[in-house]
Amino acid sequence: MKIAVARYPVGSPARFEDFAARQAEVLGQAAAAGARIAVLPEYLSLELAATLGQPIFSDLQASLAAIQQYRQRWLSLFGGLAAELDMHVVAGSFLLDTGNARFRNRCDWLTPQGQHLWQDKLQLTGFEKATGVIDPGDALKVFEVDGVRVAVAICYDSEFPLPVRRQYEAGARLLVVPSCTDTAAGATRVRIGCLARALENRMFVAQAVTAGLAEWSPALDVNTGEAAIYAPMDVGFPADGVMAQTIEGQLWAYADLDFAAFEASRRRAQVANDRDWAGQLQPALAHAVLSPAD
């Protein structure tokens, strides 16, 4: 199974039709390269605020409220492209109004068979908390696509080991991470989180990112990082865990994921963090004690 992850330059479409045409173009490139799954970045929906004029797009809360008018067109667009291109489309994230002007950061996964799967962001960043209107999700999910169990961790969620471990224990062998970071430190945190989740669970992790400057937007103003696909740092995989990564302005990074070979490789692994996980849960290790010097 080939997967594509985007380093997506944020634009400023004048109309929804312009946004839709661009998505068709970029996803068409991934499909032409043979991708079965294409991953777009977190906060992609906020690009639509640019279509609504300066008083809206310069105000984050106004933007969140106004882009709701595009929700059904968003789902129809990416659902249609998934079917047309015969490809799973992970449509970044949409800030969805859940009632009373409260929003959740939702990743939509559209399948070629017409299914709509979704995962809400569970851990909120300081920026999201400061808005006062974004709420965390309350459900942790695993999906089965093309006979493989997959899961989503939106950006900051990838930095928390326990929920991802639960997804692994439910059978997930691919973790998809739509992300958006504005500093090198933020990009590094998510990258390290992705590498750690790949190592400790022995799973593939695929991260998409936003790129470039969008000074018109209070949320997408600066974007930093590279899209990448990660694997455990072990026999049969790159020593640094990076299977593929965007470089020099590339839009997509691609990797072929052989899940059967991946499972078989467990037998010759140098380390077995996934199988040794329970060792850290011994009752004697539940608390650390201050030990006096001899």
pLDDT in tens, 279-290: 999 999 999 999
CB under 8 Å to 257, separation ≥6 — which residues?
1, 2, 3, 174, 204, 229
pLDDT bin (cut points 50, 70, 90) of residue 155 is very high
Q: In a 3-state reduction of DSSP, which class is residue 246?
A: coil
Q: What is the mean pLDDT of the chain?
A: 96
pLDDT bin (cut points 50, 70, 90) of residue 64 is very high
Residue 95 to residue 102: CA distance in whole angstroms: 9
Residue 173 to residue 262: CA distance in whole angstroms: 9
Residue 27: what pLDDT?
98
pTM confidence score:
0.96
Q: In a 3-state reduction of DSSP, which class is residue 127?
A: helix
